[in-house]
DNA sequence: AAAATAACCGACCGTTGGTCGGTATGTCTA
DNA sequence: TAGACATACCGACCAACGGTCGGTTATTTT
């Protein structure tokens, strides 16, 4: 198993790249399988041999994008000297990355609707959310039994800022606001 | 203009109610105009006379749901004795309301993807977001030039909690976490 | 009474996502 | 190495979809 497997993998990658671009440009609904077929030069049968359907193709695209984003954030955070700095660097890197329309449209806007919120959450847990949760735990700022929910809230907040920045370009204000928010969160916990 | 206008309005309302149910149950993509037609007993031409297309129908549904939700939250908040209490009551009411699948699926999951994030944001600004922003400003906890972005982050965080609660049923934990978050936000601002 | 308007109808259309029987070719096994 | 097998790929076909359009009916306006 070599030539055949390689050929198959290459085809999948090619379709994936094209589908990623189209989904980002025109959204899930606005992208037709027909167009993917045309741009990839593949036949209908071939595509459905590799991907079970349009949803499955989208899911594969999402997975690839998330993996790439996770890799980049991990790179950025690698040499942070404290959990707090790691959290801050990771969050700012994520906002910067979400400046890419591919990330915005596919990961943040369409994914929950197309795959369903639960499936989306499951994917996120293996990537961005997982990293954020780990970073937040390391700072010790949040009670353990509040950790999961807190990480969710924080990620959702950050995602929103990323979408806002993409629209208005207020990058510097976003950095100040995020710093402000993290400052409040990492201050002495009230814990009631 | 009386009988005809009433009749038209009644038809629109009927379609709206049916579409709301279907969109909430099966999502935007999973709901076909055909089904709406069948369940409402209306003809194709009649529906397209009242609503320009599937998107427009969804938008009308969204607008109606948001209006209703806004009304209920306003009722809850009405007799709060302080801005802080108003914020807290409003947020908790919103989480409770988002326990309804109609609100979750239509407002939180499908709307950004179907209408586009920008359009969705515009609708939200007139409803939930607008209220939250006002409540947050009244507390004076956030610098004026950070207010808009902060309100966005807070709303996104709350929405996420609402979706989590719908899935896991951890209502009491959610309340504690939200209280914790609000406590940190309303504490003496760091302001850098 | 005539003109205008709006509600409503249903046949029709192009496009869509998906299926299926088939072929070609590389890989494994007796 | 010959045959069984698996995989990549093909394209005709299908039902369902969202949307259009010319037309009829009923009410309101002039």
CA angle centred on A64, ends A61 and A67, rounded to 5°: 150
- In which band, very low, low, confident or very high, does the pLDDT at B76 lie, cut at 50, 70 and 90? very high
Averaged pLDDT, groups of 10, chain A, 192 residues long: 85 98 98 98 97 98 97 95 95 93 96 96 94 95 95 96 93 94 81 46
Quote the CA–CA distance of A158 and A156 in Å, as a whole number.
Answer: 5
A173 shares contact with chain B (CB less than 8 Å):
yes
Per 3-state DSSP, chain B is made up of helix, strand and coil in percentages (nearest 5) of 80, 0, 20
- CA distance linking residue A54 with residue A34, whole number of Å: 11
- The answer to whether residue B191 scores a pLDDT higher than 60 is no
Contact criterion met (CB below 8 Å) for B129 and B122: no
Is A38 in a helix, a strand, or coil?
helix
Enumerate the residues of chain A whose CB falls inside 8 A of the CB of residue B95.
Answer: none
Nearest to B67 by CA among B126, B132, B150: B126
B-chain CB neighbours of A190 within 8 Å are 180, 183-184, 187
Provide the whole-model pTM. Answer: 0.94
Q: What is the pLDDT of residues B107-127, one digit of tens each?
A: 999 999 999 999 999 999 999
Q: What angle do CA A150, A152, A157 make, to 5 degrees?
A: 95
Residue B51 DSSP one-character state? S
User: Which residues 39-58 of A interface with strand C at a CB distance below 7 A?
Assistant: 44-45, 48, 52-55
Please identify among residues 54-93 of chain B the ones whose CB lies closer than 8 Å to any CB of chain A: none
What's the CA gap between B134 and B139, in Å, rounded? 9
Cβ–Cβ below 8 Å for B160 and A161: no
DSSP string, A86-133: HHHHHHHHHHHHTTSHHIIIIIIIIHHHHH-HHHHHHHHHTTHHHHHH
B137-175 pLDDT per residue, tens:
999 999 999 999 999 999 999 999 999 999 999 999 999
pLDDT value at residue A192: 43
Q: Given this model, what pLDDT does residue A72 score?
A: 96
pLDDT, residue A58, reads 98
Q: Which nucleotide is nearest to B47 (CA to C1')?
A: C8
């Amino acid at each position: 198993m070599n030539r055949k497997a390689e050929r198959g993998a290459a085809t999948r990658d090619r379709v994936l790249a094209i589908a990623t671009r189209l989904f980002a440009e025109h959204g899930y609904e606005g992208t037709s399988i027909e167009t993917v077929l045309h741009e990839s030069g593949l036949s209908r049968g071939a595509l459905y041999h590799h991907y079970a359907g349009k949803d499955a193709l989208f899911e594969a695209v999402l997975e690839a994008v998330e993996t790439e984003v996770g890799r980049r954030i991990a790179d950025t955070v690698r040499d942070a000297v404290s959990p707090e700095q790691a959290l801050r660097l990771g969050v700012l890197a994520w906002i910067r990355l979400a400046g890419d329309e591919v990330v915005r449209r596919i990961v943040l806007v369409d994914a929950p609707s197309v795959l369903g919120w639960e499936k989306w959450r499951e994917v996120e847990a293996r990537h961005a959310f997982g990293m954020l949760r780990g970073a937040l735990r390391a700072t010790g700022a949040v009670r353990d039994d509040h950790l999961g929910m807190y990480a969710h809230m924080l990620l959702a907040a950050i995602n929103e800022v990323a979408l806002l920045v993409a629209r208005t370009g207020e990058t510097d204000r976003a950095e100040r606001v995020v710093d402000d928010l993290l400052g409040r969160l990492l201050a002495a916990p009230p814990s009631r």
